[in-house]
Structure 1
Amino acid sequence: MPGGADMAGAEAERVLAVEMLETALPRHRDLLQAYFRNRLPCPQDAEDHVQEVYSRVIAATAPQTGIANWKGFLLRAAANLLTDNFRRDQARAGGRHVSLDDDLDAGSDEVATPERVVAARQRLGHVQAALAELDPVCREAFLLCRVEGMSHRDIAARLGIEVGAVTRHVERALIHLARRTGGRGAA
């Protein structure tokens, strides 16, 4: 059955991509932290930006395996993140007002059709199942960072662990989510 071979090949490519992410992302963490520390007005936010780069890279590379220069790829993603943040701040008048959630923006043309609601619930179910598989401390660190928006320093103080441990937990959770959801919903 030819369709099955195509699906197996796609799954093998996805697994290879996740394995490449598992080695490439941690190897360049220090470089990304230094990059953000030198460019952000608040260097303590560097780790949060590194995690955002990881999320973007995981989402962008889930189906790809042919990235030869991870250092350049990650630095480009980091530069794009800073550019996006700058443009967003400029468009929103740089903090002179309280922003709405992206999902509540008046200009949203997304209509909540029954099909989209079902698909979203299924994706949420996959993410929840993947999160349930994580170690409780890893899951809590990830949720505090990605859902509650807490800094790594605040999470470390709350959980009684080191900032580096928070970083590793969030990375581990992102990679696990990418592996279990195929890159859909890991960001």
Structure 2
Amino acid sequence: MKLRFILCFTCGLRIFEAIRESMNPSEKIILQAIKNGEVTIYKELFSKYSKSLFYYACKFIDEDEARDIVQDVFMAIWTQRSSLEINTSLNSYLFGITRNKCLKHLQRKERTTDSDQLSIKEVQHYEMQNDAISSLIEKELNDKYEAALQQLPPKCLEVFLMSRRMDLKNKEIAAQLDISEKAVEKHISKALRHLRKELKDYLPLLYYLGQFWG
């Protein structure tokens, strides 16, 4: 259990640095709305991300502590909204500060147990000494994801990639493929069900990456 935790922690750190990306126009609008004190937008952000952030935090700390961490993340966003500056995507930012809060929490505790906790010194030592293993884990995760994609029917795969990798709206996909928007929705839903089934052992990391959800 401890080894699995170390591997997931290190893999998460490495992949997070690799997937940093700039904030898109819609996210800039969301950020500005929150800075303007629009509570409804803030609540929508919480609703969209709180569950996946909780699952991610649970990889490092226990459930009660994870809930507190997620609450702290969103509380900090709201209380500091007027001066909030984000230079990455919202996904990268939110998971990044959650990771950092978990790290600081472990630093404060400085202890290990025989279950799924470990001291921060162990984490840091592993991170410094095992880059090769971390790279293999990242490659395995990516290979599993790509293999699962290739199991989808051709049309379903085409629609899904247009949605997730080309960032096209359902209406745009429907127009390009000459199918209905409802058909597009069905293909995407089918793809997500398949990926969740095939990658069930990797769900926490995939939620963290935001690789195909949302």
TM-score by length of 2: 0.38
